[in-house]
Amino acid sequence: MTIRTIALLGISLLGTASAASSCNPLSATGCAADTALATSFAEDFTQESSRFYNETDSGSITYSTESHLGMTLAERYDAPTLISDFYLMYGRVEVELLAANGTGIVSSFFLQSDDLDELDWEWLGGDTTQVQSNYFSKGNTTTYDRGEYHTVTSPQQTWHNYTIDWSMNATTWYIDGVAVRTLANSSSQGYPQSPMLLRMGVWAGGDSSNAAGTIEWAGGETDYTQAPFTMYVRRIVVADYSSGDSYSYGDTSGDWESIDAENGSVYGRYSEAVEEFDLLVEGSTISNSTSTSISAAISSSTSYATTLGNSTTTTAQRSSDTVATETESTTILESSSATNTRFTTAVSSSAYSSTRTSTRASSGNSTTYSASTNSNDGTHAINPSIFFIFMSLASLF
């Protein structure tokens, strides 16, 4: 069987990339419901998190108070990957991350649904000045022209905050709180609108067995004698804009209107989630009682102010969540005016760079687990999900 045939087979089986679901709701009915997050949280990965598990059992994953989360590709065929045990139905995620070094090495942080909607951040180990944003709708990989590159200072050496704000009518990517790209729901190539889980990991796009287009995109062929290659995650903040116990598909359309939020509502906690996210980013904590008090205090207005038990006050004013343009790249539809000034008004697609640096060092125990696998193959590669499929497929030939 040729690599091309394997690639085509891999694309057709992309739904199996999610260990949480082997049922693609676009082609099957009765798929198991997706567990809803329906809250907000922050995780610093000083110890193994109960919210994530190692999907590939490949490579090395470590947790410590000094380095936080380390995901290491130590040898060929390693591809350490963490996947969440929850789904978001619209929401916001932020990661403080150091990308892995190394030609052909790809660090990934992305959201993906059971029907293969996807929102990505990807870093190439040999590119010290850029990060790539990308998206996919319903597994459509017929073209690879959705990606955009954004200038960022030394992503392998300098900590940066990378954010995806996925709302009903637009998705905005931020670097250190500054918007660098907005995708309107009017995109001609579709718009992600089904429940998505969170993935992060590192893999070798430059492996010699991958397709030529993959290797070229990844920056060249990987030299494994230069291993190990490690991606570090210091902190993530996650907020779900919907409520309920689970999210399920009412039909095979994949449209958000078909999603049923059991004991909740789609987009039902948007204002609450925004408030929680801002608090968590500032280092505050939230609880179920906090969420309840916020929910009771917030009116239908998009301007609100709440003081919580931790004596932290945050005021946010956001524009209505509407799209007034048919263009795929537009100015920012939502802005925040808050005490922490987390998000600023739009800079469309212009280059952005930052010299923000910080360190957080302490001592403590670390937790390590590692394993290996020995299968790999590739195709054009801007969709990171494909790689993990090929790892399983290649071992068959």
Catalytic residues: 118, 122
Residue 365 burial (10 A CB sphere; 0-12, 13-18, 19+): exposed
Q: Cα–Cα distance between 117 and 254 in angstroms, integer?
A: 9
Q: Cα–Cα distance between 367 and 64 in angstroms, integer?
A: 6
Q: What is the DSSP string of 312-356?
A: -EEEEE---S------SB-S-S-----TT--S-----S-------
Q: Cα–Cα distance between 171 and 186 in angstroms, integer?
A: 11
- Give the distance from CA 136 to its chain's centroid: 13
Handedness of CA 33, 39, 42, 43 (dihedral sign): negative
Taking alpha carbons only, the member of 367, 385, 304 closest to residue 141 is 385
Q: Which helix (H) or strand (E) holds 6?
A: helix 3-12
Q: Cα–Cα distance between 397 and 79 in angstroms, integer?
A: 20
